[in-house]
């Protein structure tokens, strides 16, 4: 088996060396599915291996060694671009200096480019040529694994990890939340089958290929093994449920939603006072909404209130759906917005607010959408 592993590693190292000669800076995603080949591959590259954080932290000049410079463990910078005094920006500066001196540098990461936070220096990822490690062909597998539907994954086909479910989960954990949210939509919301891979965005497709979970077949992208789709679907569900830490954009998204709703409620309150003076609370809602608002307020803090007119600000106990209904009523006529503007607002903001309310994962683009509507609300309703 050792000879087979070394042979597979050497053939893949040869491809990487060719790419390094052409592009000088190469990024390789080498995660759980390729773990069995990791050390043999780095050895076969014939260069000098450095831990990426140690390399960035080192103050001494690096002499260009024979063979490529291999920066392993790049994923340490993924969260915020900092690792114990080392920064992604510092790494980029050293890498650029070495490339100017005609060095060849291979960056190796267990996670995809899309899972790195955008921080100073992360343009290093954009500068690098992405290289996808090939999956195994049948003759590259152990003979006893060739009938295994997951044998194309090196860790399976070379007997390193016998449990496909464990490997799928490990691979998904490495891919990160950005990929999981896209898979959640493609598989569970859009309800695509094993062809879901054609529905994901390019960065996610690249991540899936890098993880060994997708491959190019006849110029089209395909899930590595359609037979494994149901196991993969279950693994995605488990991986999403296991995300219990806040996403990086959560504070900005929640803060933006809070500001948006407070501005709209204030605009409604001002319009109600202008229309009805001191009787604005009593004249604000129809009977059904007034009943709901009073019940919520009494269950919250105003236990002795007998009507909405006794509440400091009845708008604070409106749901967002009720708020939009009142704002667009004949009494308030949409404030300064027409029906089309409110329709698009609801279509964009309600799903994001629902995700926050039910502690679901945010989607890529939610932060930008909230910031856009906050700008519009601030400019026209505040």
Q: Can you give the CATH number for the domain in which 35 is found?
A: 3.40.50
Q: Does 145 reside within a domain?
A: no
- Of 93, 121, 138, at which residue does a domain stop? 138
Task: Please give the backbone phi and psi of residue 4, each rounded to the nearest 5 degrees, phi first.
Answer: -65, -45
Residue 8 belongs to a domain: yes
Question: Are residue 368 and residue 281 in the same domain, yes or no?
Answer: yes
Same domain, 300 and 362: yes
Q: Both 338 and 281 in a single domain? A: yes
pLDDT tens digits, one per residue of 108-121: 999 999 999 888 87
Q: Determine the pLDDT at residue 382.
A: 86
Give the Cα separation of 354 and 374 in Å (integer). Answer: 17
Residues 128 and 212 in one domain: no
Predicted pLDDT of residue 41: 96
pLDDT for 66: 81
Residue 164 makes CB contacts below 8 A (sequence gap 6+) with 150, 156, 228, 231
Tens of pLDDT, residues 224-275: 998 999 999 999 999 999 999 999 899 999 999 999 999 999 999 999 999 9
The C-alpha atoms of residue 320 and residue 331 are separated, in whole angstroms, by 18
Q: Which of 241, 262, 294 is the last residue of a domain?
A: 241
Q: Are residues 212 and 107 in the same domain?
A: no
Residue 54: predicted pLDDT: 92
* Same-domain pairing of 27 and 101: yes
Tokens of 4: 């087979």
Residue 379 and residue 260 in contact, taking contact as beta carbons nearer than 8 Å: no
Number of domains present in the structure of the chain: 3
Q: Is 354 contained in some domain? A: yes
Q: Are residues 232 and 286 in the same domain?
A: no
Are residue 184 and residue 264 in the same domain, yes or no? Answer: no
Q: Which of 32, 4, 25 is nearest to 150 (CA)?
A: 32
Share in percent of the chain as helix, strand, coil (round to 5): 60, 10, 30
Same-domain status, 299 and 271: yes
Asked, for residue 147, whether it belongs to a domain, the answer is no
Beta bridge partner(s), residue 48:
69
Tell whether pTM > 0.85: yes
Q: Concatenated DSSP letters for 299-315?
A: HHT-TT--SGGGSS-GG
Residues 225 and 268 in one domain: no
The strand pair at 86-87 and 82-83 is best described as: antiparallel
CB 283 within 8 A of CB 290: no
Full residue range of the structural domain in which residue 189 is found? 163-241
If asked whether residues 215 and 272 sit together in one domain, one would say no
Q: Which two tokens stand for residue 278?
A: 């001191």
Whole-number Å distance between alpha carbons of 154 and 167? 11
Task: Indicate whether 302 belongs to any domain.
Answer: yes
Place of tokens 């997708």: 214
State the pLDDT at residue 1.
55
Please say which residue of 241, 269, 290 terminates a domain.
241
Q: Rounded to an integer, what distance in angstroms lies between the CA atom of residue 48 and that of residue 122?
A: 23
pLDDT given for residue 327 in this prediction: 96
Quickly list DSSP for 199-232. Answer: GS-HHHHHHHHHTTSEEEETTEEEES-GGGHHHH
Residue 127 domain-assigned (yes or no): yes
Residue 258 · residue 371 · CB < 8 Å: no
Q: Is residue 153 part of a domain?
A: no
- 77 and 134 together in one domain: yes
pLDDT of residue 372: 98
352 within domain boundaries: yes
**Low-confidence residues of the chain: pLDDT under 70:** 1
Cα distance between residue 134 and residue 108, in whole Å: 15
């Amino acid at each position: 088996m050792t000879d087979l592993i070394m042979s597979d590693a050497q053939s893949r190292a040869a491809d990487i060396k060719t790419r390094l000669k052409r592009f000088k800076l190469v990024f390789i995603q080498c995660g759980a599915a390729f773990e069995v080949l990791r050390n043999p591959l780095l050895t076969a590259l014939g260069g000098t291996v450095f831990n990426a954080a140690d390399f960035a932290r080192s103050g001494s000049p690096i002499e260009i060694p024979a063979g490529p410079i291999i920066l392993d463990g790049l994923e340490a910078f993924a969260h915020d671009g900092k690792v114990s005094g080392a920064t992604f920006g510092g790494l980029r500066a050293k890498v650029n200096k070495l490339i100017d001196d005609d060095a060849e540098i291979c960056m190796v990461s267990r996670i995809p480019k899309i899972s790195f936070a955008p921080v100073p220096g992360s343009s290093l990822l954009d500068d690098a040529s992405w290289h996808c490690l090939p999956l195994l062909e049948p003759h590259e597998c152990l003979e006893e694994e060739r009938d295994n539907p997951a044998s194309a994954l090196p860790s399976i086909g070379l007997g390193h990890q016998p449990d496909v479910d464990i490997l799928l989960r490990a691979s998904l954990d490495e891919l990160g939340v950005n990929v999981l949210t896209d898979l959640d939509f493609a598989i569970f919301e859009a309800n695509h089958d094993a062809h879901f891979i054609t529905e994901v965005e390019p960065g996610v497709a690249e991540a899936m290929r890098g993880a060994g979970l997708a491959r190019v077949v006849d110029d089209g992208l395909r899930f590595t093994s359609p037979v494994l789709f149901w196991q993969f679907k279950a693994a995605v569900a488990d991986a999403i449920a296991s995300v219990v830490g806040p996403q990086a954009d959560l504070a900005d998204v929640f803060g933006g939603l809070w500001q948006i709703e407070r501005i709209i409620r204030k605009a409604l309150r001002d319009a109600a006072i202008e229309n009805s003076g001191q009787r604005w609370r009593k004249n604000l809602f129809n009977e059904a909404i007034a009943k709901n608002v009073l019940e919520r307020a009494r269950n919250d803090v105003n236990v002795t209130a007998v009507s909405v007119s006794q509440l400091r600000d009845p708008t604070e106990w409106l749901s967002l759906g009720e708020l939009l209904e009142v704002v667009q009523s004949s009494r308030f006529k949409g404030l300064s917005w027409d029906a089309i503007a409110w329709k698009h607002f609801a279509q964009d903001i309600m799903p994001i607010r629902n995700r926050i309310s039910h502690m679901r994962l945010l989607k890529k683009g939610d932060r930008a959408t909230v910031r856009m509507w906050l700008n519009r609300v601030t400019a026209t309703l505040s």
